[in-house]
Structure 1
Amino acid sequence: MSGEVLSQNEIDALLSAISTGEADAEELKKEVKEKKVKVYDFKRALRFSKDQIRSLTRIHDNFARLLTTHFSAKLRTYIHISVSSVDQVPYEEFIRSIPNMTILNLFDVHPMEGRIMMEVNPTIAYAMLDRVMGGIGITHNKADSLTEIETNIISNLFENALGNYKEAWQSIADIDPEMTEFEVNPQFVQMVSPNETVVVISLNTQIGEISGVINLCIPHVVLEPIIPKLSVHYWMQSDRNEAKPEETKLLEKRIMTAQIPVVALLGASELTIEEFLSLEVGDCITLDKSVTDPLTVLVGNKPKFLGQAGRVSRRQAVQILDHDIRGEQDEQ
């Protein structure tokens, strides 16, 4: 969505001019190549650095993967969602770039201020609706005539997916998304002022043979409190990976009190099924160890020590003699 965004009427007029010969495509290409001066629009202030945009891309790459898994399970069909672009544009420019009739889901992200808009192309929304209703994923374009049942189904479908958005943001902020509004006409939605900078994340969505775009529009006011956390320095800070002293002590305490099974293995023997079934009281089983051989002491089903059987205060006991080399080799 970078650069100047044309409305649908402007796109149709341009295609019509090229087809009728009023405009030459080759001349348009030459004009683009010859243009060396880039016009800067002061109304379109870039309020996010490239570093912060990359962080937002990483977050929404994760969200796209979670959303792919979520909708694949819900709709039981092939679905692939991926981030195609992340741009910062004025809010008015974003509104002009989306269809006049589309699917708009607005949700709060507590405790941050403001709302986020999820714009779903009707082609995608109706393919999902058809799958939920038991169809094969056929799409229609009638966003302006949604029934109350269709509205509730589509709204609930995306409201249930907001848990994935919370999970995608966990490494940066603890948010609690909550759906607040469902709309089909973008002209009836005014989240921020027209010149306010918003970040638009476009997600390419493939549902079977149907493809379209899901756009997430995040105003600057929503991200403002956590902008410092979006820098690469925050991601690379070493203390984020180091446990706090009190956490380390608590972990050590829990490890010290953890219970693990300790077994002294007297020996082993192999029997056939026939021999096993014919065992009677008083029969002796020959083990593979002599009475003079040290016992193997298993800790958590792994050989750790060599021991010797005996008694302590009329109770059977095992005296630890040495470490078992086999257990040390398993750890290497």
Structure 2
Amino acid sequence: MADILSQSEIDALLSALSTGEMNAEELKDEEKKQRIRTYDFKRALRFSKDQIRSLTRIHENYARLLTSYFSAQLRTYVQISVASVDQLPYEEFIRSIPSATVLNVIEAPPLEGHLIIEVNPNIAYAMLDRLLGGNGESMNKIENLTEIETDLMKGLFEGGLQALKDAWSSVEHEINPTLIELETNPQFLQLVSPNETVIVISLSAMIGKSSGMINLCLPHVVLEPVIPKLSMHYWMNEKKNDVTTEEYKALKNSVEHSYIKVIANLGNSQITIGELLNLRAGDVIKLDQHLDQPIVVNIDGLPKFLAQPGRRQKQIAVQIIKNISEEDDVDE
């Protein structure tokens, strides 16, 4: 798609053409020239923008679920959100993470292959410190984890896999992630070929006063069976077919027989406490509502319609004359 020019750029172009600084014929010749774009086959873009958006949406939900899980387990302030979603070669991902970090190797059948959840040492040790009764202070000693510390981390991260399972269920694909290994040296992990395209979802995490990144590495070869389900067209069509005819009828029937409170407000008045105490049967209270003004009809406490009062078959009634929009200035 061609770039859209701003009004100032259009004015500058017309001015250049009118003064002779730019030749219209030269512009046509330049347009006809073949345009060559550099393409790096080692950085093959195998995911479309639509699929990237779907993966972002899935893992935004995952970040929310993970925030709730870690908050409950660590009993401290936790905030996790999606920082970026990129596709790059696996070799580049391995080079980008610290030499000593926490790498969770995940199996997620029925998907074939392995996923990686890399937890930055600052965050990983803050979690461990909280599990051991500390204040959640960060200290990089990942290379020297004891067996007890390793088991504690495994237990914490295994519990967080339920959030990943729940997030992926939104694309109608049931995965069963399990932690098969916890590694601290990325050089020992050669799960796919160095040039294999992977999706890296970077989550910005804050545990107490410590902050860092949690990176999910999803190889293209692993996601290949579910890639068609990542398009918005497929997703929207699936959502349309979620509700069967019987379910729709049952839902409609339930809604149609629901009761709501409808109140027609005939007007308001202000009186003193003394006047209120002296009220007797037959007294008249003057309202601030004029006869020619419409009254407000509230539905469950919210102003919804304007109406005029009257009678219908010898009973007091109101006639709806207008829906109330957001622009209407209505005094309830």
TM (normalized to structure 1)? 0.63
Task: Give the aligned partner of residue 164 of structure 1.
Answer: 163
Task: Give the aligned partner of residue 232 of structure 2.
Answer: 232
Task: Give the aligned partner of residue 93 of structure 1.
Answer: 92
- The sequence identity of aligned pairs, in percent, is 63
1-side partners of 2:53 and 2:183: how far apart? 30
1-side partners of 2:37 and 2:215: how far apart? 27
Deviations 1:7-63 (A, max 9, x none): xxxxxxxxxxxxxxxxxxxxxxxxxxxxxx985321110000011000000000000
- Paired AA for residue 99 in structure 2: N
User: Shift of residue 76 of structure 1?
Assistant: 0.8
Task: Give the aligned partner of residue 187 of structure 1.
Answer: 187
User: Cα gap change, 1:238/1:46 in structure 2, threshold over 3 Å: closer, same or farther?
Assistant: closer
2-side partners of 1:122 and 1:194: how far apart? 24
Report how many aligned residue pairs link the two structures: 230
Deviations 1:202-229 (A, max 9, x none): 0000111110000000000121111111
Deviations 1:62-113 (A, max 9, x none): 0000101110111111110000000000000000000111000011111111
2-side partners of 1:63 and 1:126: how far apart? 22
User: Cα gap change, 1:38/1:139 in structure 2, threshold over 3 Å: closer, same or farther?
Assistant: farther
Q: What SS is found at the alignment partner of 1:110?
A: coil
2-side partners of 1:130 and 1:160: how far apart? 17
- Paired AA for residue 89 in structure 2: P
2-side partners of 1:224 and 1:245: how far apart? 33
- Paired AA for residue 106 in structure 1: V
Deviations 1:228-257 (A, max 9, x none): 1111102222763552346668x69xx8xx
User: Cα gap change, 1:115/1:240 in structure 2, threshold over 3 Å: closer, same or farther?
Assistant: farther
1:48-59 aligned within 5 A: 48-59=47-58
1-side partners of 2:116 and 2:239: how far apart? 34
User: Cα gap change, 1:238/1:95 in structure 2, threshold over 3 Å: closer, same or farther?
Assistant: closer
User: Cα gap change, 1:38/1:158 in structure 2, threshold over 3 Å: closer, same or farther?
Assistant: farther
Q: What SS is found at the alignment partner of 1:138?
A: coil
1-side partners of 2:240 and 2:113: how far apart? 28
1:192-203 aligned within 5 A: 192-203=192-203
1-side partners of 2:107 and 2:58: how far apart? 18
State the superposition RMSD in angstroms.
3.1
Task: Give the aligned partner of residue 178 of structure 1.
Answer: 178
**Do structure 1's residue 219 and structure 2's residue 216 form an aligned pair?**
no
**Do structure 1's residue 129 and structure 2's residue 102 form an aligned pair?**
no
- Paired AA for residue 198 in structure 2: V
Task: Give the aligned partner of residue 288 of structure 1.
Answer: none
2-side partners of 1:238 and 1:43: how far apart? 35
2-side partners of 1:178 and 1:68: how far apart? 19
2-side partners of 1:242 and 1:114: how far apart? 30
Q: What SS is found at the alignment partner of 2:99?
A: coil
- Paired AA for residue 236 in structure 1: M
User: Shift of residue 190 of structure 1?
Assistant: 1.1
Given that 2:84 and 2:201 are in contact with CA atoms closer than 8 Å, whether structure 1 keeps it comes out as: yes
User: Cα gap change, 1:136/1:239 in structure 2, threshold over 3 Å: closer, same or farther?
Assistant: closer
1:311-322 aligned within 5 A: none
Deviations 1:87-140 (A, max 9, x none): 000000000000111000011111111111000001100000000111001111
Task: Give the aligned partner of residue 113 of structure 1.
Answer: 112
1:175-324 aligned within 5 A: 175-237=175-237, 240-245=240-245
2-side partners of 1:239 and 1:158: how far apart? 31
TM (normalized to structure 2)? 0.63
Deviations 1:240-298 (A, max 9, x none): 3552346668x69xx8xxxxxxxxxxxxxxxxxxxxxxxxxxxxxxxxxxxxxxxxxxx
Consecutive unaligned residues of structure 1, counting only runs of 5 or more, are: 1-36, 256-332
- Paired AA for residue 223 in structure 2: L
2-side partners of 1:239 and 1:123: how far apart? 40
2-side partners of 1:213 and 1:239: how far apart? 33
Q: What SS is found at the alignment partner of 1:237?
A: helix
2-side partners of 1:176 and 1:238: how far apart? 21
1-side partners of 2:38 and 2:149: how far apart? 45
User: Cα gap change, 1:192/1:66 in structure 2, threshold over 3 Å: closer, same or farther?
Assistant: same
Deviations 1:155-176 (A, max 9, x none): 1111111001100011111111
